[in-house]
Amino acid sequence: MEKFELNKNETNTNDDSNQELTTEAIEHMSHYLESIKPVISEQELRSICEGSDGLEMLLESFLKYSVRYANDVWSMEKLVADGGLNTEDGIAVFADMDEARTILHNALVDSIAILSRNIAKEGKDNSWVRELTNGHELQRVACGKFALLTIYRRYIDNRQNI
């Protein structure tokens, strides 16, 4: 299975899920992304964060969590599609995967909150985050969708430029 690197300047670690998204996962979602876009694009976020080492570091943290989250969601969806829930072992594997995904999802939501808060502290526009809230706090589903769309959009855009 071919994988795409998150950043060509980064070296791979032993845990490929931290850095790469499988071709199969990208192709699975590509038809959805032609009309669906995240609340703010990665390029717009990079522009907002540009020139601030702290913001750039927080953005990269969000993006790494997003890649890991996308891979976890894809792995769980694939397990279900492949009939993995038809056995006790499969159900146990799914439960373990879901527990890990939930922990990662919590970290992802926190990374969005921290990024947004620090963007505001630097006097930059963080109005995009309102679309991920219920008016008061970040919504888990909205944050997950934002992460998935951000990463899938990156890979779809990159594939179209090849």
Q: How far apart are CA 38 and CA 29, in angstroms?
A: 14
pLDDT band at 21 (very low <50, low <70, confident <90, very high): low
DSSP 8-state assignment for residue 131: G
Q: How far apart are CA 150 and CA 41, in angstroms?
A: 7
Q: How far apart are CA 49 and CA 11, in angstroms?
A: 23
Give pTM, 2 decimals: 0.77
**CA 37 from chain center: how many Å?**
13
Could you tell me the two tokens for 101? 């995904």
Q: How far apart are CA 139 and CA 145, in angstroms?
A: 10
**What SS3 class is residue 115?**
helix
What is the percent of the chain with per-residue pLDDT over 70, rounded to a whole number? Answer: 77
Backbone phi, then psi, for 161, in 5-degree steps?
A: -90, 0
DSSP notation for 37-93: --SS-HHHHHHHHTT-HHHHHHHHHHHHHHHHHHHHHHHHHHHHHTTGGGSHHHHHH
Ordered domains of the chain (ranges, CATH): 3-160 (1.10.287)
The burial of 115, by beta-carbon neighbours within 10 Å (0-12 exposed, 13-18 middle, 19 or more buried), is given as buried
pLDDT, mean of residues 137-159: 89
Q: Indicate whether 149 pLDDT > 60.
A: yes
pLDDT in tens, 75-122: 999 999 999 999 999 999 999 999 999 999 999 999 999 999 999 999
Please compute, for residue 17, the number of CA atoms within 13 A of its CA located in the half-sphere on the CB side: 12
pLDDT in tens, 45-85: 999 999 999 999 999 999 999 999 999 999 999 999 999 99
Q: Indicate whether 158 pLDDT > 90.
A: no
Do the Cβ atoms of 151 and 63 come closer than 8 Å?
yes
